[in-house]
Amino acid sequence: MNTTNKREKGIIYSLDALISFLIMLFACLVFAVILANNATQLEKNIYFFELEEKAMLIADSLVKNLDTNNSLLGACTYNTNTKRVESNKIDLELLFRAKQIDSNKFIVKRITVNDGKKTELNLSSAVLAECIAVKRFVLADGKKAVIEVETCRK
Amino acid sequence: MQKVKQKGFVFSFEATISILLLLLMLFYLPETKSNSLKELLALEEANDLLRVWSITGINESEMALDLNTLFGTRAGLEINERIIVKGNAKNNSVSTEGIILNQELKEEKIRITVFLD
């Protein structure tokens, strides 16, 4: 009688443990799958983030600085009276002398100035899949305009 | 009768623990945060508008037009807390505020709200 009782108990415990174990295994599987998916998603995000960051940095530099060597990194006007670079005031002549940046990861494909009529400066003819266009609002030669800088991953 | 009760208790206790653990694991699953600079970009664009308006001066209709050119309907504009452009409100938004002096050297408080997806 005692032996039977023990056996019955044992069976119940084992079945229960088996169910728990299976549930835990399933939980671990779900957890691992979701972690793997998250890792892939994060990798994609970082990849995209890098391009987005560079596109924004280039566009920001263009509308905030003055660089006479390469106006892609600064095409603002210089006020000789105040001795200050005037941010968001763009010298179009200087802007259209922009040269390609020296980077092995990114290129600026095109700069578009829209002040009522669209003017484009193509810096590369390469066909690239991953591109981001960043818009900035400026005064281009005294006229309100939207400058669009299209940056692509090589 | 007592035996059945004991069996039931043993089973449900262990099962409850494992189910609770399963639920806990599912509940605390890590979420991927989307790293995007779209908020910063929206702020930069809005600040561009403030900067340009501070140079050209304040003209409500032109300002509304500029806002529409840059953001379309996804931005709102307030001047001295008076709504000029309402914009299509969404859950997420970023706001930037600036004070520009008008022709009578009176302060005009301008707020641009950009609605993000």
Q: What is the pLDDT of residues B67-87, one digit of tens each?
A: 999 999 999 999 999 999 998
Which residues are CB-neighbours of A96 under 8 A, at least 6 positions away?
Answer: A119, A121
Residue B4 has pLDDT above 60, yes or no: no
Cβ–Cβ pairs < 8 A, chains A and B: 88
- Please compute the mean of the pLDDT values over residues A18-32 and round it to a whole number: 83
Give me the pLDDT at residue A118, please: 92
Least confident of A83-87, A141-145, B35-39, B76-80: B35-39
Residue B102 has pLDDT above 60, yes or no: yes
Candidate from B15, B26, B66 with C-beta closest to A30: B26
B52, A138: Cβ pair inside 8 Å? yes
- CA pair distance A87, A76, nearest whole angstrom: 6
A27, B66: Cβ pair inside 8 Å? no
- Closest alpha carbon to A136 in A153, A106, A111: A111
Burial of A125 (0-12, 13-18, 19+ CB in 10 A): exposed
Write down the pTM of the prediction.
Answer: 0.76
Residue A22 has pLDDT above 70, yes or no: yes
Helix (H/G/I), strand (E/B), else coil: B53: helix
Q: Other C-beta atoms within 10 Å of A101: how many?
A: 16
Least confident of A1-10, A129-138, B32-41, B90-99: A1-10
pLDDT tier, A144 (very low <50, low <70, confident <90, very high otherwise): very high
Range of the domain at A120: 2-153
B79 contacts B89 by C-beta, under 8 angstroms: no
Residue B101 contacts A, CB cutoff 8 Å: no
pLDDT tier, A23 (very low <50, low <70, confident <90, very high otherwise): confident
- CA pair distance B91, B117, nearest whole angstrom: 7
- Please compute the mean of the pLDDT values over residues B91-108 and round it to a whole number: 90
Which chain B residues have a beta carbon less than 8 Å from that of A37? 32
Instruction: List, as ranges, residues 22-41 from A with C-beta within 8 Å of B.
Output: 23-24, 26-27, 30-31, 34-35, 37-38, 41
Q: Measured between alpha carbons, how far apart are the two ends of chain B, in Å?
A: 61
What's the number of domains chain A is made of?
1
Residue B66 has pLDDT above 60, yes or no: yes
Can you name the residues that pair with B34 across neighbouring β-strands? none
Residue A61 contacts B, CB cutoff 8 Å: no
In a mutagenesis test of the B interface, which of A8, A115, A144 is the best target, namely the one with the most B β-carbons within 10 Å? Answer: A144
Give me the pLDDT at residue A1, please: 46
How distant is the Cα of A92 from the closest Cα of chain B, in angstroms?
A: 16
Give me the pLDDT at residue A7, please: 53
In the chain, the amino acid numbered A66 is L
Give me the pLDDT at residue A20, please: 75
Candidate from B22, B25, B49 with C-beta closest to A137: B49
How distant is the Cα of B19 from the closest Cα of chain A, in angstroms?
A: 7
Of the two residues A92 and B34, the one the predictor is more confident about is A92
Least confident of A40-49, A70-79, A86-95: A40-49
Q: Per residue in B9-56, pLDDT tens?
A: 555 676 677 778 778 877 777 666 667 788 999 999 999 999 999 999
Give me the pLDDT at residue B2, please: 53
ipTM score of complex = 0.76
Give me the pLDDT at residue A6, please: 52
**Mean pLDDT across chain A:** 87
Give me the pLDDT at residue B7, please: 53
How distant is the Cα of A138 from the closest Cα of chain B, in angstroms?
A: 6
